[in-house]
Amino acid sequence: MTPASSTADEFGFDVPLDRAGLSTAKWEMEIARTQDPTLLCFGTAEMDYRAAPPIRAALERVAGAGHFGYPFKRASYYEAVVGYFDRHFGWKIEKDWIASNVGIYPSMQPLIEELTEPGDEILYQPPVHHIFPEVIQAAGRVALANPLVERRGRYEIDFDDLSWKVTERTRMLLLCSPHNPVGRVWTRAELDRLSAFCLERGILVLSDEVYCGLIFDGVAFTPFANVSAAASRNSVTLTSASKSFNVTGLKHSLVIAEDEGLRGAYMRGLKRNNLYFGGCVFGQAAAEAAFRDCDAWTKAAVRHIEGNFRYLEQFLRIHLPELSVTSPEGTYFAWINVKSLDLATEQLRDVLEKEAHVAVTYGAFLGEGGDGHIRLNLATARSNLSEGLCRIAAAIRTHIPHSNQPGS
């Protein structure tokens, strides 16, 4: 298979990054950990793409001004945010609903602390980013798993499990929408049903929508709060430009709530944790540019990611037919089932890291349902993906000799 890109590559997504001078958790940290300069990294959730030109220009303007005091949000910031959610999802939010933080998880903590009591149960839906249960437990609450179910290769919310699991002490649900790692973009009908379930039982929804800009062609994303007026009042949306515009290191995120009581609780939580004056002047400038000026860039990035997924799917079909992959509807993850290899996580890690020289995320660390899977980050140059897949196939072939050879 040739690694040719299927896009015109207007933004240079297929040009491998010059890593000189970079220092990222995705690459440099993994290379330092393994002491392996040949390692190809497909783990940490960020893209290998250079950020969109308007974001780079905005950051240069801030750097050029040479003053880096606590940031203030001008009207143009709010207009950019309000405009983005209306333009893309028809979600009409108001300036007053918007607060910020330095990241999604730091926003969960004050909300959990203010809106639940120690010992209360908080639902989450594994396999999911490992921080979900960790944030709950760190606050002294009980992490109540409502694992997703896989039906005919598609992950779904298990409403039966929810209805018998929930108790009087269940106060909150941490929703991941779109879902990392399985790539589901929940339909309006699914969210509507979830909202009704939560409303009936007094369960507040914190909806982590950090991947909302990465929606595949033909798929519709519905912000949880836009499902209905009642859902809007019974939820807080945590979102960011970080994943959709590849500015994860700039530490700026949004906390959006219509309900005044919920907004007040969030502010109290911030004050209690002495985070009230937090904020990064670069992150704020990047977010404003991202939400206002970067639609074409994200659209092209999503097209590139979809092209990479199709490439991976075909590669597996030809060279590793014993593995299967879930079809993502959004995000930049390929969620690959490797159960047929019959390897424990540590053995699998030895094969992929020491023999293939490839870093991925292991599903075993993403909670129930994650074992026997790897998550491979598709947001990279096609040549990089191709090289990584060839290495994986070659290493696996030494363990399962009847696999087809790359190039055959």
Ligand X SMILES: Cc1ncc(COP(=O)(O)O)c(C=O)c1O
| Total Cβ atoms within 10 A of residue 399 | 14
Strands 40-41 vs 235-239: parallel, antiparallel or unpaired: unpaired
Q: In whole angstroms, what is the distance from residue 318 CA to residue 339 CA?
A: 18
Give the distance from CA 366 to its chain's centroid. 13
Least distance in angstroms from the C-beta of 179 to ligand X: 8
Binding segment for ligand X (CB under 6 A), chosen from 100-108, 114-122, 317-325, 349-357, is 100-108
Least distance in angstroms from the C-beta of 26 to ligand X: 10
Closest residue to ligand X, Cβ-based?
103
Instruction: Decide: is 210 part of the binding site for ligand X (CB under 6 A).
Output: yes
Count Cα atoms within 13 angstroms, Cβ side, for 74.
6
Q: Tokens at residue 126, please?
A: 């594994």
Instruction: Decide: is 104 part of the binding site for ligand X (CB under 6 A).
Output: yes
Least distance in angstroms from the C-beta of 210 to ligand X: 4
To 10 degrees, what angle do helices 281-293 and 75-89 make?
40
Instruction: Decide: is 54 part of the binding site for ligand X (CB under 6 A).
Output: no
Q: Tokens at residue 95, please?
A: 């300036």
Binding segment for ligand X (CB under 6 A), chosen from 98-106, 116-124, 222-230, 279-287, is 98-106
Do residues 210 and 104 touch, judged by C-beta distance below 8 A?
yes
Do residues 224 and 237 touch, judged by C-beta distance below 8 A?
yes
Alpha-helix residue ranges (DSSP H) falling in 37-127: 53-65, 75-89, 104-115
**Judged by CB under 6 A, which of 253, 308, 386, 403 binds ligand X?**
253
Q: In whole angstroms, what is the distance from residue 86 CA to residue 100 CA?
A: 19
Give the CA distances from residue 128 to residues 43, 169, 204, 244, in Å, rounded to whole numbers and listed in that order. 14, 22, 19, 18
Instruction: Decide: is 244 part of the binding site for ligand X (CB under 6 A).
Output: no
Give the CA distances from residue 338 to residues 153, 309, 316, 393, in Å, rounded to whole numbers and listed in that order. 14, 17, 11, 12
Q: Cβ closer to ligand X: 91 or 105?
A: 105
Q: Cβ closer to ligand X: 170 or 242?
A: 242
Q: Cβ closer to ligand X: 235 or 242?
A: 242
170 pairs with which residues across the strands? 121
Q: Cβ closer to ligand X: 247 or 351?
A: 247
**Amino acid at position 210, single letter:** V
Least distance in angstroms from the C-beta of 182 to ligand X: 11
**Judged by CB under 6 A, which of 170, 232, 240, 308 binds ligand X?**
240
The closest alpha carbon to 115, from 287, 35, 234, belongs to 234
Instruction: Decide: is 248 part of the binding site for ligand X (CB under 6 A).
Output: yes
Peptide bond into 181 cis (omega under 30): yes
Q: Cβ closer to ligand X: 243 or 391?
A: 243
Site string for ligand X, 170-209 (x = CB under 6 A): ------x---x---------------------------x-
What residues numbered 343-382 form the site for ligand X, per CB under 6 A? none
Number of residues that bind ligand X (CB under 6 A): 13
Binding segment for ligand X (CB under 6 A), chosen from 28-36, 220-228, 240-248, 275-283, is 240-248
Site string for ligand X, 12-51 (x = CB under 6 A): ---------------------------------x------
Count H helices, E strands: the chain? 13, 15
Q: Which segments of 257-342 are extended strands (E)?
A: 324-325, 333-337
Q: Cβ closer to ligand X: 103 or 133?
A: 103
Q: Cβ closer to ligand X: 256 or 316?
A: 256
Q: In whole angstroms, what is the distance from residue 166 CA to residue 172 CA?
A: 10
Least distance in angstroms from the C-beta of 89 to ligand X: 18
What residues numbered 123-152 form the site for ligand X, per CB under 6 A? 129
Q: Cβ closer to ligand X: 373 or 391?
A: 373
**Which residues bind to ligand X, rule: CB under 6 A?**
45, 103-105, 129, 176, 180, 208, 210, 240, 242, 248, 253
